Amino acid sequence: MHLCALNLASLPADIHTPIYDRRRHAPGVVHLGLGAFHRAHQAMVFDQLLSAGDTRWGIHGVGMTRPDLVNALRAQDGLYAVRVADGQGVSWHVPGALWRMHVAATERNDVVQAIAAASTRWVTLTVTEKGYTPALAQLLLDGLRLRQQAGLPGLTIASCDNLQGNGHKLQALVKAATRAQDAELLRWLDAHCAFPCSMVDRIVPAATTDVLAAASQALGLRDDAALSTEGFWEWVIEDRLADPADAALLQSAGVRVTPDVHSYEEAKLRMLNGSHSAMALMGAVTGRPFIASCIGEPPVRSFVHRLMSREVAPHLARSDWADYRDALIARFGNPYLKHSVHQIATDSSQKIPQRWPPSVLGQIAQGASFEHHALAAAVFLRYTLGVDEQGQAYALNDPQADSLMAMGAAQRTEPEACVRALLAREDLWGNALSGHAAWAARVTHWHQQVMQHGVDASLQQLLQLEA
């Protein structure tokens, strides 16, 4: 039997379950991008607000393309279990905030109507880096236009993707589409809608069969949408909300509402996500399947420690970076999280631009070393071969997969030309870094080492070089 609303009351007593009525109220939040992250992070924050008696935080969850997850969740009345596990302990939660579900690709009008619904107050987004397209802007715009025509209040529209200045990017995208179509709507948007920037953090791997099995054991019921995450979570949002009273409410649930999100965003993108991408690419090439298996190797651990301390931290506004670094290294080692390196390596072409070049440029400006990032860039090129050091093939899951593989194909025979082609790509490195000679020289060096001696030997060399 599946987990669903009817058997919620019969779950074991140590599982945290929703104590509020999930049927009486309409959702107040439309969330676009119903992946694992949202369900184990923001949906649990909204679950807390609902538990505190505020009925406006139910979620209308929107899967952008794939219907399978939405179908599984519908069969379970939007319920799923989350295992929260780390060195501090293990607990199981069934958040109850997900009230309705649709798929944007096949049920677009339902999504537009959800955005336009009188009860809706927020739209939150985790649509991934590559999701910021004119089609996304049009989806929002079609809902917002109906609100304006009906005389309804504006919305807080919060991008929660791993992009620097995510709120500004989303606002610019939506405004560009509006400007081209409807000057009246543009005025309404400016006057009534808010696009705060926000930084969200919690490591939530895509569910594995192990997690589904552990869930059915803990629940005594089958759960096809179960997830596993860590205890840590952080949500920092810019104090720019359509309803200013929401700031205190969010704060009561542990969210930080502040005028300055920038320093949190940059620290997270470059420290956590930057290390993640470096480890994921190394793991993919060496055949280490999970982040925990990578950070468990002392040379990888030293590399990540030094990448953060020496090349990232000097350019951060956040002054508590040493504590942040140590906490990150502990989080990466969480044995409960089977965080696949190939999952993180997915869409690397969209992720690297936020994660690595700002630190490299910072080091260049100070005349400081960028060897760790240069090795990471070399490993990225090696990764485009699509086969690991044991000869095991893997797929590149990336909107740029074809161009990356075509570019990297000749790296055994013409390595220098391949490095040049990689570093010439402004979409990856930006225009300031793409033509930089010293950067190119060091990436070329590390690429040579990786091709001749492998990733681990190159790591050893780097650790000795800058001991």
Applying CB under 6 A, the site for ligand CS2 has a residue count of 10
Residue from 276, 338, 382, 442 binding ligand CS2 (CB under 6 A): 276
Would you say 159 or 273 has its CB closer to ligand CS2? 273
In the complex, minimum distance from the CB of residue 348 to ligand CS2, in angstroms, rounded to a whole number? 8
Would you say 126 or 444 has its CB closer to ligand CS2? 126
In the complex, minimum distance from the CB of residue 126 to ligand CS2, in angstroms, rounded to a whole number? 9
With binding defined as CB under 6 A, does residue 273 bind ligand CS2? Answer: yes
Q: Which stretch binds ligand CS2 (CB under 6 A): 21-29, 63-71, 92-100, 270-278?
A: 270-278
With binding defined as CB under 6 A, does residue 38 bind ligand CS2? Answer: no
In the complex, minimum distance from the CB of residue 199 to ligand CS2, in angstroms, rounded to a whole number? 9
Q: Contacts with ligand CS2 in 419-438 (CB under 6 A)?
A: none
In the complex, minimum distance from the CB of residue 232 to ligand CS2, in angstroms, rounded to a whole number? 9
Would you say 359 or 449 has its CB closer to ligand CS2? 359
For residues 338 to 377, the per-residue mask of contacts with ligand CS2, x marking binding by CB under 6 A and - elsewhere, is -----xx------x--------------------------
In the complex, minimum distance from the CB of residue 371 to ligand CS2, in angstroms, rounded to a whole number? 22
Q: Which stretch binds ligand CS2 (CB under 6 A): 16-24, 169-177, 195-203, 360-368?
A: 195-203
SS (H, E, C) the chain: CECCHHHHHHCCCCCECCCCCCCCCCCCEEEECCCHHHHHCHHHHHHHHHHCCCHHHCEEEEECCCHHHHHHHHHCCCCCCEEEEECCEEEEECCCCEEEEEECCCCHHHHHHHHHCCCCCEEEECCCHHHCCHHHHHHHHHHHHHHHHHCCCCCEEEECCCCCCHHHHHHHHHHHHHHHHCHHHHHHHHHHCECCCEEEECCCCCCCHHHHHHHHHHHCCECCCCEEECCCCEEEEECCCCCCCHHHHHHHCCCEEECCCHHHHHHHHHHHHHHHHHHHHHHHHHCCCEHHHHHCCHHHHHHHHHHHHHHHHHHCCCCCHHHHHHHHHHHHCCCCCCCEHHHHHCCHHHHHHHHCHHHHHHHHHCCCCCHHHHHHHHHHHHHCCCECCCCCECCCCCCCHHHHHHHHCCCCCCHHHHHHHHHCCHHHHHHHHHCCHHHHHHHHHHHHHHHHHCHHHHHHHHHHHCC
- C-beta nearest to ligand CS2: residue: 276
In the complex, minimum distance from the CB of residue 100 to ligand CS2, in angstroms, rounded to a whole number? 25
Residue from 203, 207, 255, 292 binding ligand CS2 (CB under 6 A): 203
Residues in contact with ligand CS2 by the rule CB under 6 A: 162, 201-203, 272-273, 276, 343-344, 351
